[in-house]
Structure 1
C-alpha cells in the first residue's frame, strides 16, 4: 500500500488547527467570558458581515465572509461576534493586566507628585 501524503497533510492541518484553537479559546477565555468556543465551522460576524471560521493563522482566525471567495485573517476579539444558541455574542477585549488607573494620590506615584 503506497504512503498517502494527503492524509498526512490533512492530519497535520487538523492537529495545528486544534492546537491553535485551543490556545485562542484558552487565552481569550471565550467559553468563560462569552459562553462560546471558536471552532472550525463556527459562525461569526465581523463588523456587519457574517461568515465562517475556516482555519487558524497562529493566534488569529481565518474567516470566510459570506459572498467572498478567499478567507481573511481576523483578530479573535476585534469587531468580532460569535453565534451562540441565544444569538450573537459580541466579543470584548481582555482587560490589560498591566494597565493601572493613575490618580494623583494613587499607589506608585512619588509623594511630591500626589501632594
Structure 2
C-alpha cells in the first residue's frame, strides 16, 4: 500500500504537534523559563527524586519520563520533586506560589458596625 507511509507521517505530525502544544503549556503555566531559566522539551534530561531520566513524551499537563535503567516511561508532574539539566547544572523545580496564601484568614478580619 503506497499510502501507508502517508498515514505514518500524519501520525508522527499529530504526535509532534500534540507534544509541542503540551510542552508550550507546561513552560508557560509553570513559568519555567522565567522562574528557573529552563524550558522542558522532549529529549531533555531530568532528575526525579534521586533518579535521572529523559523526557520522552507528554500526557496533557504531565511529562512522560524514561528513567535511566527502566524500560517503560512514567508520568510525572513538571514541578513535583523534579530537577532539570541546564548548562550550569541541575535546577530544582519549585511549585508555583499559592495566590491565596497571602490572604488573611477570615477569623482575623475586623468587623466594624
Aligned to 1:56: 58
Aligned to 1:43: 45
Aligned to 1:85: 87
2:97 counterpart of 1:95: yes
> Please, what is the CA RMSD of the aligned residues?
2.0
Distance 2:27 2:52 in 1: 20
Give the TM-score normalised by structure 1: 0.88
List 4+ stretches of structure 1 deviating above 3 A: 103-106
2:111 counterpart of 1:111: yes
Aligned to 1:7: 9
Q: Give 1:101 shift.
A: 4.5
> Which SS does the other structure have where 1:21 is aligned?
helix
Give the TM-score normalised by structure 2: 0.89
Distance 1:31 1:40 in 2: 16
Aligned to 1:24: 26
Distance 1:17 1:100 in 2: 35
Q: Give 1:111 shift.
A: 2.8
Structure 2 spans left out of the alignment, 5+ residues? none
> Which SS does the other structure have where 1:15 is aligned?
helix
